Structure formats: structure tokens, C-alpha cells
Amino acid sequence: MKFFIDTANLEQIREAQDLGVLDGVTTNPSLMAKEGISGEENILNHYKKICEIVDGDVSAEVIATDFEGMIKEGEHLASLHPQIVVKIPAIKEGIKAIKYLDSKGIKTNCTLVFSAGQALLAAKAGASYVSPFIGRLDDITTDGVELIAQIVEMYDYYEFDTQVLAASIRHTLHIIQCVEAGADVATCPLDAILGLLKHPLTDIGLEKFLADYRKLNS
Ligand code: E4P
């Protein structure tokens, strides 16, 4: 199970990297905008800064929605740094762009996936990752984790190499549910990752150990 952090915030990326368990980063245009990053040069520089902080894959999303535009942008993004994975939406032109970029040895992440059918086409086109958005499905009373399990089963059965990257994770329980569903990767906000550590018995136990030590050692 790999952990990616789902943010463009450099401080949070550094904090997750310092934990020693980070395998990569996902961004999207909304996350970049949240950090106030605008203008082509600034955006590209920001991706490079992220790649310098982490060791693993860094997803950078195209803005174009036509085939020519997506492959041009994708090739440019991929040339920035060897860790860049080009994020392409699960639309008709996007599937063609994934196929093309895969043939050029460029890694892709098929994003905005909300159905097994979209995940099937992404895998057939040769996507390196497929990103089902579980939180946004939950928001419309559809079980997002169930979709992860369905895609994992399909990929296992047909032996696709595409990795299932559970995205739109909103809380810590989602991470555990994605583990149970067999996701290859979970991309999470920092708080959801840190939430995995929270347990009252750990805090109570540690307090008692330290109190007992102090009784005889102060
Ligand atoms: C990451 O790849 C996705 O873009 C992100 O997880 C979407 O999350 P959201 O649904 O919370 O915006």
C-alpha cells in the first residue's frame, strides 16, 4: 500500500516526507489554485519544487481537453522531471492521449474516474494509475469504496498493470477502507494520514509509562 499526499502545499509535503512513509504526491488545478499558484512558469516551477522534496511519483494535471493539446502539455510536463506523472481526465480524448503518452514511455494517471467502465478504458489505454474519486461519490450517496473494490477485482482478474489510486479521500477511515478494498495507493490529505496514529490508549499508556519512570528517576 503506497501513500501519496493530496496537496500542492510545500510545507505539508515536507511534513509528510519527514515522516518517512511518503511514496508520492498528487495535485490538481484546484489544489494549485488553493496555494495561489498561477501563471504557466510559476505552475511548472512549483511542480519542480515538489519533485525536489519527495522521491516518488508526482501527478501534474493537463488543462487542455483536446487530444493534441493534452499530448503537447503532457510531453512538456513529463520533460520537467523524471518523477512527473501526467494526469489526464477520463474523457474520450483523454483515453487517446493516455494511449499515446504510454507509447512514448510517459507515465499517466487517469483522473476524475467515477465508474468501472472508465477504469476499464483507462487500463486498456495503458494508464499507469487510475484515480477513482471516492469522497465525491460518497457525497452523492454512492459508495466510493465499493468502486475501489470493483476496479481492484477487475484489474486482478484481467491482470492489468494499472495501479488503483484511491483519490478524493476525506478522512482516516477512508484510508483503512481502501486498504481492505485492495487499493494500490491512497492519496490523502495530511490530516487523514496523521489520523492513523490517533488512539487514546496510546496517549494514556505513554502518560503512565512516563509517570512511572519519573516516580523513581526524578
Ligand atoms: C487527486 O488526485 C484528486 O484530484 C483529489 O483527490 C480530489 O479530491 P477532492 O474530491 O477532495 O477535491
**Residue ID of nearest Cα to ligand 1 atom 1:** 167
Decide if 78 contacts 86 (C-beta within 8 A). yes
Query: What angle (nearest 5°) sits at the alpha carbon of residue 149, between those of residues 117 and 128?
Result: 60
For residue 214, pLDDT beyond 90? yes
**Residue ID of nearest Cα to ligand 1 atom 5:** 168
pLDDT confidence of residue 218: 84
Ligand 1 neighbour 27 (Cβ under 6 A): no
Ligand 1 neighbour 61 (Cβ under 6 A): no
For residue 23, pLDDT beyond 90? yes
Q: What is the DSSP string of 147-166?
A: HHHHHHHHHHHHT---EEEE
Ligand 1 neighbour 6 (Cβ under 6 A): yes
Q: What tens digit of pLDDT does each residue of 31-90 get?
A: 999 999 999 999 999 999 999 999 999 999 999 999 999 999 999 999 999 999 999 999
Given 87, 92, 96, 124, the catalytic residue: 87
Q: What tens digit of pLDDT does each residue of 162-207 get?
A: 999 999 999 999 999 999 999 999 999 999 999 999 999 999 999 9
Active-site residue flag, 87: yes
pTM of the model: 0.96
